[in-house]
Amino acid sequence: MERVLTRDGSPTLRSDVWDCAYHSLHGAWTEAKHVYIQSGLHAQSLCQPQNPLTILEMGAGTGLNALLAVKWAHAAERPVTYYGLDAALPEASAWESWWSARPESAKDLDPWARAMRNAWEEGKAWQTPWSTASWIQGEAASWRSPLRADVVFYDAFSPRQQPELWTAEALEPWLEALTPEGFFVTYCATGEVFRAVKSLGFAVEHLPGPPGKREMLRAHRKGTTFTP
Ligand SMILES: C[S@@+](CC[C@H](N)C(=O)[O-])C[C@H]1O[C@@H](n2cnc3c(N)ncnc32)[C@H](O)[C@@H]1O
């Protein structure tokens, strides 16, 4: 596993096993904030201004999306519970190398990031006054959600690397985990993925993408009152 700096200056990890990076090379942190925090968590929070929010992620990885969600929870003063499925976290040395190159703007997140990573390595949930974040160790193919989520972050490696995780069959448990007003968001907006989500009976839209991508994808249950 090798650390790579992306175009916004933020780091990602490049996996030899998967022959790809954990985040967008056009800007790892920029994309994470745009797709998962702004278009997913923040947008969904506007549908239900009072309630606590539950997030489910496919691919917890470095924990970047979890960390940004916790940061959002504290800024918005909204309780957030995060669960991220992953077969395996990046090994400790790779994670340390990735985190040591974090942007200047994330320096204050250092104690949180380390506490979260340590808790996850010990198989524990990590708690802050506004959030709880847990890593669920598991295989996507056999995993079925025992809970409902207000926001699903779908962050598998791309369809080129993992075509089996982008079929209607693979996506269905994640979409079915949504609450009635929940949002499913992903960076991947290919025609095949769009059609797969639509075939499951969900309303799906293309939104402007982060730098380097024209579009991203967001889906929700049909008939929800919220108009994005
Ligand atoms: C694109 S990375 C996720 C990046 C992560 N969201 C982050 O912020 O660092 C994809 C993740 O999916 C995990 N993964 C790949 N295939 C999987 C599978 N079949 N079951 C569970 N996890 C899997 C990998 O271990 C990797 O951490």
Residues of the chain with pLDDT under 70: 225-228
Residue 8, pLDDT score: 95
Atom of ligand 1 nearest to the CA of 13: 9
Q: How far is CA 200 from CA 141, 144, 164, 165, 168, in A?
A: 17, 16, 16, 15, 7
Residue 49, pLDDT score: 85
Distance between CA atoms of residues 160 and 222, nearest Å: 29
The answer to whether the beta carbons of residues 29 and 103 sit under 8 Å apart is yes
Indicate the number of domains in the chain: 1
Q: Select from 22, 37, 165 the residue to mutate for testing ligand 1; criterion: most ligand atoms less than 8 Å from CB.
A: 22
91 lines ligand 1 (CB under 6 A): no
CATH number, domain with residue 74 = 3.40.50.150
Residue 50, pLDDT score: 85
Distance between CA atoms of residues 130 and 150, nearest Å: 16
Whether 19 maps to a domain, the answer reads no
Joined tokens for residue 218: 């967001």
Atom of ligand 1 nearest to the CA of 156: 10
Name the residue range of residue 179's domain. 32-93+114-221
Residue 222, pLDDT score: 87
Single-letter amino acid code for the residue at 181: E
Residue 225, pLDDT score: 57
Residue 34, pLDDT score: 98
Whether 108 maps to a domain, the answer reads no
Whether 20 maps to a domain, the answer reads no
Q: How far does residue 2's CA lie from ligand 1's centre (Å)?
A: 16
Residue nearest to atom 2 of ligand 1 (CA): 22
Atom of ligand 1 nearest to the CA of 90: 27
Whether 203 maps to a domain, the answer reads yes
Residue 223, pLDDT score: 77
Residue 78, pLDDT score: 97
Atom of ligand 1 nearest to the CA of 57: 6
